[in-house]
Amino acid sequence: MARPTIVFVPGSWHGPECFQPLMDELAGHGFKTTAIALPSNTLDTHAPPATLSDDTAEVRKAIEADLEVGNDVCLIAHSYGAVPASNACRSLGRDARAASGQKAAVVSFVVMTGPLVFPGISFAGDFGNKPSPIHNIQYPFTKVGEPGPGYWFYHDLPAEEAIKWSRRVMTSSWKVCEETITHAAFLEIPTWYLLTTLDNAIPLGVQKYFVQRARDKGALLPESHVVELASGHCPFLSQIDATSAFIRKAAGEV
């Protein structure tokens, strides 16, 4: 059986290049990979801010590009990226695709330390409409709050690497956090979750809350699909081998 294409969706403030070290490692195991640039992450704060609908459409376009040529997709989302990724998967699971006469489908939805938000709620609303300290809101955008990206994202990287990636952090649209979610992929597609135990951005307890709440409400998220990793917020940079092994398993590698 052909391996699925692995499609990466970054979180807030990050571009697709953050996944390149992990993509290189996965390529060594024979996987085709691609990473999406979300419209909400930008260096241009003079342009109108992107919406969740914009991000969702970009993810959907990337998924469908592979499905249309007959490739299954393993969708990997980091942090906020889980919101547009989940939103984009309506009717793309195996059962829905088969019912419409299509073979290729999204075969697994993988979340790395991200929210599992239900339809009818916004990302901000799921947090009580109270921005966390990580958000330095300059409406309608948000920058990374103090003490900066090195603390929130890269504290478990070597100092030079932390500085390198901190310099690549962008501004994000806050509008995406205010728009209501319309679909929950984790109710339709087998889901995997990577818990990061040293995370400063989304504490472990919050991650576990997302997982348990989703499971209680019918998510396709068995205990065997949840793995803990001693990592900060970006395991694809600090724990490349372990993150690769987790993703390969979610993608069906025996």
Reported as a single tens digit per residue, the pLDDT across 157-203 is 999 999 999 999 999 999 999 999 999 999 999 999 999 999 999 99
Cα separation, 106 vs 98, in Å, equals 11
* Residue 129 pLDDT > 90: no
Instruction: Give residue 2's pLDDT band: very low, low, confident or very high (50, 70, 90).
Output: confident
Cα separation, 154 vs 157, in Å, equals 5
Query: Residue 88 has what pLDDT?
Result: 98
Across residues 84-90, what is the average pLDDT? 98
Query: Residue 130 has what pLDDT?
Result: 79
Query: Residue 173 has what pLDDT?
Result: 97
Query: Residue 131 has what pLDDT?
Result: 81
- Domain ranges within the chain, ordered by starting residue: 5-250
Amino acid (one-letter) located at 88: A
Strand locations in 29-117, DSSP E? 33-35, 41-42, 73-78, 106-112
Strand locations in 3-139, DSSP E? 5-9, 33-35, 41-42, 73-78, 106-112, 135-138
Average pLDDT value for the chain: 96
Instruction: Give residue 127's pLDDT band: very low, low, confident or very high (50, 70, 90).
Output: confident
Amino acid (one-letter) located at 90: R
Q: Does domain 5-250 have CATH number 3.40.220.10?
A: no
Query: Residue 168 has what pLDDT?
Result: 97
* Residue 29 pLDDT > 70: yes
Query: Residue 190 has what pLDDT?
Result: 98
CB-based contacts of 193, cutoff 8 Å, min separation 6: 110, 111, 116, 207, 210, 211, 221, 225, 226, 227
Across residues 226-248, what is the average pLDDT? 98
Query: Residue 1 has what pLDDT?
Result: 58
